Amino acid sequence: MCTGNICRSPMAEWVFRHRVEEEGLDVEVDSSGTGGWHAGDEADARTVAALRRAGYRSAHIARRFEPEWFAEYDLIIALDEGHLRALRAMAPDAGAREKVRLLREFDPEAGSDLDVPDPYYGGRADFDHALELVEAAMPGLLDEVRAALKDR
């Protein structure tokens, strides 16, 4: 989950899709935004370029997060503190709020800075940096998902 669902969240979606497919995990991976102003748009071309440079594929149409999705998903990942607050505010109950986590919580090297900065107003280096931060969190996120699947 990011703001407009055209930069960070599609990036995280496709990196995670790649990882779960490599491992053969049976999980649904999707992304959305807190706002709907980009709904129906493809991912930002700079996001797609960063993903392709790193060897990932991408196909994406932006959409806004809907509160009823709390019931459908076991884990909802926010890319920064603002998204975390927005998601928890729309959660219907404490159980739904507990499903919302920050992506960088899963990166042991993240320290106290858990935001993936929005690259939208930046250039290639900003998109590549966002991708690096996303990739760094993937091993920990995969561990979390594997543990949840084992508990089922």
Residue 134: which CATH number?
Answer: 3.40.50.2300
Range 83-97 average pLDDT? 97
Position 21 confidence tier, pLDDT thresholds 50, 70, 90:
very high
Let me know: does 120 contact 7? Beta carbons within 8 Å: yes
- Asked if the structure places residue 27 within a domain, the reply is yes
- Asked if the structure places residue 3 within a domain, the reply is no
Choose, from 8, 17, 19, 104, the residue flagged as catalytic.
8
- Known active-site residue 2: yes
Give the pLDDT confidence score for residue 135 in this predicted structure.
Answer: 98
Task: Compute the residue count for the chain.
Answer: 152
Range 18-47 average pLDDT? 95
Give the pLDDT confidence score for residue 44 in this predicted structure.
Answer: 97
- Asked if the structure places residue 131 within a domain, the reply is yes
Give the pLDDT confidence score for residue 78 in this predicted structure.
Answer: 98
Give the pLDDT confidence score for residue 136 in this predicted structure.
Answer: 98
- Asked if the structure places residue 2 within a domain, the reply is no
- Asked if the structure places residue 17 within a domain, the reply is yes
What does pLDDT average to over the chain?
Answer: 96
Q: What is the pTM of this model?
A: 0.96
The pLDDT > 70 percentage for the chain reads: 100
Residues spanned by the domain of 35: 8-142
Give the pLDDT confidence score for residue 90 in this predicted structure.
Answer: 96
Residues facing residue 61 across a β-bridge: 42
Cα distance between residue 57 and residue 59, in whole Å:
7
- Asked if the structure places residue 90 within a domain, the reply is yes
- Asked if the structure places residue 38 within a domain, the reply is yes
Position 151 confidence tier, pLDDT thresholds 50, 70, 90:
confident
Choose, from 2, 7, 17, 19, the residue flagged as catalytic.
2
Let me know: does 8 contact 119? Beta carbons within 8 Å: yes
Range 123-148 average pLDDT? 98
- Known active-site residue 8: yes
CB-based contacts of 10: which residues, under 8 Å, 6+ apart?
31, 43, 47, 58, 60, 62
Let me know: does 92 contact 28? Beta carbons within 8 Å: no
Choose, from 30, 41, 118, 128, the residue flagged as catalytic.
118
Number of folded domains that form the chain: 1
Label residue 94 exposed, middle or buried (CB < 10 Å: 0-12, 13-18, 19+). exposed
- Asked if the structure places residue 150 within a domain, the reply is no
